[in-house]
Amino acid sequence: MTDAADAISGAATAADAPPMISMRAVDKHFGKLHVLRDINLEVPRGQVVIVLGPSGSGKSTLCRTINRLETVDSGTIAIDGTDLPAEGRALARLRTEVGMVFQQFNLFAHKSILENVMLAPVKVRGIDKKKARTEALALLDRVGIANQADKYPAQLSGGQQQRVAIARALAMNPKVMLFDEPTSALDPEMVNEVLEVMVGLAKEGMTMLVVTHEMGFARRAGERVLFMADGQIVEDSDPETFFTAPNSDRAKDFLGKILSH
């Protein structure tokens, strides 16, 4: 390579930020069950990725490996250019960069809404309580429930509790947010208030991976659709292409089932 070409490629490398999520040749078994098969995925900063696929195809496992709730058998996973370490303090630190919101909100029942959001920043990050409180109130305001701060989870609706769970994840200032069917346990009239918060996050440039059956949201906020089947990413395309002209029979079959509901 000439010096000039070298300089150009160097400049290109500096300008190209590493992908926010990078999975290379990831495999995962549960006993004999091969749940993730040679997963290769790069998600650039700020991209909103929708993950679809039939039950048991590995969507939750994919999310759980990205923040190391599950280990992988082989392959590597990197967040913002740093490989996820196997264990220890470095892993704990890197995990705080990946927020996760589940179908079940898992709030602490005996702590107030405000305390739920303040807890991890104080305990894990060592932020002082006054600052954590101010930030938690700002986050509760952002998800539209600042007026509920002193209540307990059981006093809130499901939609409100899920918004608390989102605020709690955001309190760690994550680089990536993973959502695993965040609206599946909600009564229908509460789905939109949670999706609105997620649309807001997407617009602000958060990198998001969202497992959801909410097709309206997928089309509106999604920039990319991954379709999984049997532990593999079978399709990887833009939403419009996926919903109007899916390639595989599996995806056609899946869409036929969910869109006929």
Ligand X SMILES: Nc1ncnc2c1ncn2[C@@H]1O[C@H](COP(=O)(O)OP(=O)(O)OP(=O)(O)O)[C@@H](O)[C@H]1O
Site stretch for ligand X (CB under 6 A), options 7-15, 57-65, 143-151, 238-246: 57-65
- Binding residue count for Mg ion, defined by CB under 5 A: 1
Q: What share of the chain is helix, strand, coil (3-state, %, to 5)?
A: 45, 25, 35
- State the chain's maximal CA–CA distance in angstroms: 68
Q: What are phi and psi of 42, to 5 degrees?
A: -125, 125
- Min dist CB 36 to Mg ion, Å, is 13
122 vs 215, which CB is nearer to Mg ion? 215
The Cα-based distances of 82 to 20, 89, 158, 187, 257 in angstroms read 9, 14, 36, 39, 39
Residue numbers 14-33 binding ligand X by CB under 6 A: 30, 33
| Parallel/antiparallel/unpaired status of strands 21-30 and 33-43 | antiparallel
Residue numbers 60-79 binding Mg ion by CB under 5 A: 60
The item of ligand X, Mg ion, none sharing an interface with residue 33, based on CB under 5 to 8 Å by kind, is ligand X
145 vs 254, which CB is nearer to ligand X? 254
- Min dist CB 69 to ligand X, Å, is 10
Binding of ligand X by 35 (CB under 6 A): yes
Q: Where are the beta strands (DSSP E) in the chain?
A: 21-30, 33-43, 48-52, 74-79, 82-83, 98-101, 176-180, 207-211, 224-229, 232-237
- Min dist CB 41 to ligand X, Å, is 15
CA 137 to chain centre: 23
Residue numbers 138-197 binding ligand X by CB under 6 A: none
- Min dist CB 236 to ligand X, Å, is 16
Angle between helix 113-123 and 129-142 (nearest 10): 130
Binding of ligand X by 58 (CB under 6 A): yes
Site stretch for ligand X (CB under 6 A), options 12-20, 48-56, 108-116, 144-152: 48-56
- Binding residue count for ligand X, defined by CB under 6 A: 11
Question: Which of 57, 67, 161, 162 touches ligand X by CB under 6 A?
Answer: 57
Q: Which of 112, 213, 122 is nearest to 161 (CA)?
A: 112
The item of ligand X, Mg ion, none sharing an interface with residue 57, based on CB under 5 to 8 Å by kind, is ligand X
Question: Which of 22, 48, 49, 60 touches ligand X by CB under 6 A?
Answer: 60
Tokens of 204: 């602000």
Contacts with ligand X by CB under 6 A lie at: 30, 33, 35, 53, 55-61
